[in-house]
């Protein structure tokens, strides 16, 4: 989307949601899970301009409704409070009342207005929040800007995730250092269009909320919406960005000469988190990246890439280190993108297997060796135009079945 060559974006290895100026976080054990931390918050020193994207499921859980209401007031947030273990979804009127109460309790605890608080929940669908534990937990939240506080927050938002997910990138705008930090959760029920995933991103950039929303939308389409673990979409998912403005650059908008630097840093943060989610897909042993070029449009390229990375048969072949490119053809053939079936090239890693839709001789041994790695890249060239796109996913393993055949029990 952006020409990355002229833009300096640096990864901050130790960075997190508390690295941008003005942000603190916390995570506590409220007792919703047996022993792990299960309630977290990010707070900002000032009301932060914000932007958000939400699940496209027909069923949007109460916390999403309440968060949307908060943001609608003045497009600002000063705190976001998240619980794991219980999604507060399909919980009707009581669920909505509980989400409001979770917001009110948080606002009171942090001494800010209700509409400056966003709430999010993730976990089992159809159960009510244990409000006594939620409220007690909220009152234990003492946000700080330490690495430990970031880690507590990153842990508290997880469900079946095996690892915490964080990212941090910096760029320079108007001579000021701009930092973007993020945390995310997501492991199963992960698919394009905000499936079961939560993402919380902080930045000290000075940017108005409309511009932030525009940047976020563009960047989400090529990052979070391009990952899939199991083709499922959840009721609860959202990504929030809060911008404190404390870096004191001139206010960013698409007209700002260094706008692309901001978008690029935001994209780096989102992409990094998205790949971490894909790699930590339930039961996954490998990260799979599919790059499609030569499509009629970028949208077509992204469709084909997602179709391949979401194919159960491709995913099991990758798990089995089997260079079964026929399944890649199957997935491409099944997509709604424009495809000329006579001109397709396919490579796995650097090993080309199909040229002009014809099989090429290749070393099965080298292919197997490559597929036994943990980072698999599949390249497809449709030879129709200049459209390109990438998607990320993971392999489908025994453990995916194991985890999901016994999630609640």
Indicate which single residue of 16, 19, 49, 60 sits in contact with its own copies (rule: CB under 8 A): 60
Q: Is 335 an interacting residue with respect to its own copies (CB under 8 A)? A: yes
Q: Which is nearer to its own copies, 100 or 172 (CB)?
A: 100
Q: Is residue 133 part of an annotated ligand binding site? A: no
Alpha helices in 310-362, H assignment, sequence order: 312-319, 325-334
Alpha helices in 355-406, H assignment, sequence order: 364-371, 398-405
CA atoms of 165 and 119, how far apart (whole Å): 19
CA atoms of 180 and 268, how far apart (whole Å): 9
Q: Is 341 an interacting residue with respect to its own copies (CB under 8 A)? A: yes
Q: Pick the piece of the chain touching its own copies (CB under 8 A) from 57-65, 114-122, 157-165, 211-219.
A: 57-65
- Residues 358-377, mask of contacts with its own copies (x by CB under 8 A): xx------------------
Q: Is 331 an interacting residue with respect to its own copies (CB under 8 A)? A: yes
CA atoms of 89 and 36, how far apart (whole Å): 21
Q: What are phi and psi of 183, to 5 degrees?
A: -135, 150
Q: Is residue 196 part of an annotated ligand binding site? A: yes
Q: Which is nearer to its own copies, 9 or 198 (CB)?
A: 198
For 182, the 3-state DSSP assignment is strand
- Residues 98-117, mask of contacts with its own copies (x by CB under 8 A): --------------------
Site for its own copies in 235-254 (CB under 8 A): 235
- Residues 172-201, mask of contacts with its own copies (x by CB under 8 A): ----------------xx-x----------
Indicate which single residue of 319, 367, 390, 391 sits in contact with its own copies (rule: CB under 8 A): 319
User: What is the per-residue DSSP string for 63-125?
Assistant: HHHHHHHHHHHHSEEEEEEEE-SB---S-HHHHHHHHHHHHHHHHHHHTS-GGGEEEEEBSBT
User: Could you tell me which residues come within 8 angstroms of residue 398 by beta carbon, excluding any fewer than 6 positions away?
Assistant: 283
Q: CA-based diameter of the chain, in Å?
A: 68
Residue 189 near residue 230, CB atoms below 8 Å: yes
Q: Pick the piece of the chain touching its own copies (CB under 8 A) from 50-58, 113-121, 243-251, 293-301.
A: 50-58
Q: Is 154 an interacting residue with respect to its own copies (CB under 8 A)? A: no
Q: Is residue 185 part of an annotated ligand binding site? A: yes
Q: Point out which residues pair with 31 in neighbouring strands.
A: none
CA atoms of 369 and 353, how far apart (whole Å): 15
Q: Is residue 404 part of an annotated ligand binding site? A: yes
In whole angstroms, the minimum distance from the beta carbon of 333 to its own copies comes to 3
Q: Which is nearer to its own copies, 110 or 325 (CB)?
A: 325
Q: Which is nearer to its own copies, 118 or 354 (CB)?
A: 354
Q: Is residue 282 part of an annotated ligand binding site? A: yes
Which pair of structure tokens corresponds to residue 67?
Answer: 């968060």
Instruction: Please name which of 89, 245, 134, 234 lies closest in space to residue 179, comparing C-alpha atoms.
Output: 245
Q: Is 121 an interacting residue with respect to its own copies (CB under 8 A)? A: no
The dihedral through the CA atoms of 294, 289, 266, 107 has a sign that is: positive
Which residue numbers are catalytic?
196
Burial category of 31 from C-beta neighbours within 10 Å (exposed 0-12, middle 13-18, buried 19 and up): middle
Q: Is 406 an interacting residue with respect to its own copies (CB under 8 A)? A: yes
For 310, the 3-state DSSP assignment is coil
CA atoms of 149 and 383, how far apart (whole Å): 49
Indicate which single residue of 36, 74, 146, 231 sits in contact with its own copies (rule: CB under 8 A): 231
Which pair of structure tokens corresponds to residue 220?
Answer: 């989400």
Q: Is residue 409 part of an annotated ligand binding site? A: yes
Q: Which is nearer to its own copies, 25 or 160 (CB)?
A: 160
Q: Is 140 an interacting residue with respect to its own copies (CB under 8 A)? A: no
Q: Which is nearer to its own copies, 5 or 408 (CB)?
A: 408
Q: Which is nearer to its own copies, 7 or 313 (CB)?
A: 313
CA atoms of 293 and 70, how far apart (whole Å): 41
Q: Is 232 an interacting residue with respect to its own copies (CB under 8 A)? A: yes
Query: Which residues line the annotated binding site for substrate?
Result: 159, 185, 196, 282, 404, 409
Query: Which residues line the annotated binding site?
Result: 159, 185, 196, 282, 404, 409
Binding site for its own copies (CB under 8 A): 55-60, 87, 89-92, 124-127, 188-189, 191, 230-235, 311-313, 316-317, 319-320, 322, 324-327, 329-335, 339, 341, 354, 356-359, 396-398, 400-402, 404-409
């Amino acid at each position: 989307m952006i020409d990355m060559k002229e833009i300096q974006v640096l990864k901050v290895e130790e960075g997190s949601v508390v690295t941008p100026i003005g942000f603190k976080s916390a995570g506590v054990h409220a007792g919703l899970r047996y022993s792990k931390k299960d309630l977290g918050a990010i707070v900002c020193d000032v009301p932060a301009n914000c932007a958000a994207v939400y699940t496209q499921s027909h069923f949007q859980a109460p916390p999403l409704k309440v968060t949307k209401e908060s943001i609608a007031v003045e497009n600002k947030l000063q705190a976001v409070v998240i619980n794991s273990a219980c999604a507060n979804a399909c919980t009707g009127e009581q669920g909505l009342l509980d989400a409001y109460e979770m917001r009110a309790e948080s606002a009171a605890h942090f001494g800010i207005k209700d509409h400056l608080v966003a709430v999010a929940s993730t976990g089992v669908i159809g159960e009510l929040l244990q409000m006594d534990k939620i409220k007690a937990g909220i009152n234990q939240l003492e946000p700080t800007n330490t690495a430990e506080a970031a880690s507590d927050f990153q842990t508290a938002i997880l469900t079946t995730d095996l690892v915490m997910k964080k990212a941090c990138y910096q760029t320079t705008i108007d001579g000021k250092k701009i930092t973007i930090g993020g945390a995310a959760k997501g492991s199963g029920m992960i698919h394009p269009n905000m499936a079961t995933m939560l993402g919380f991103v902080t930045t000290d950039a000075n940017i108005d909320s409309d511009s932030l929303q525009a940047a976020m939308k563009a960047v989400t389409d090529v990052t979070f919406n391009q990952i899939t673990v199991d083709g499922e979409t959840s009721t609860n998912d959202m990504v929030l960005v809060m911008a404190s403005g404390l870096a004191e650059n001139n206010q960013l908008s698409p007209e700002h000469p260094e706008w692309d630097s901001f978008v690029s840093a935001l994209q780096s943060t989102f992409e990094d988190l998205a790949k971490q989610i894909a790699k930590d897909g339930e039961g996954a042993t490998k990260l799979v990246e599919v790059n499609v070029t030569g499509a009629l449009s970028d949208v077509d390229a992204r469709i084909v890439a997602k179709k391949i990375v979401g194919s159960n048969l491709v995913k099991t072949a990758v798990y089995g280190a089997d260079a079964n490119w026929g399944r890649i053809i199957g997935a491409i053939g099944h997509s709604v993108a424009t495809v000329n079936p006579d001109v397709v090239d396919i490579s796995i890693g650097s090993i080309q297997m199909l040229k002009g839709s014809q099989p090429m001789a290749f070393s099965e041994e080298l292919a197997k060796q490559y597929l036994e790695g943990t980072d698999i890249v599949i390249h497809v060239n449709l030879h129709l135009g200049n459209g390109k796109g990438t998607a990320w996913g993971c392999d489908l393993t025994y453990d995916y079945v194991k985890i999901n055949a016994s999630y609640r029990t």
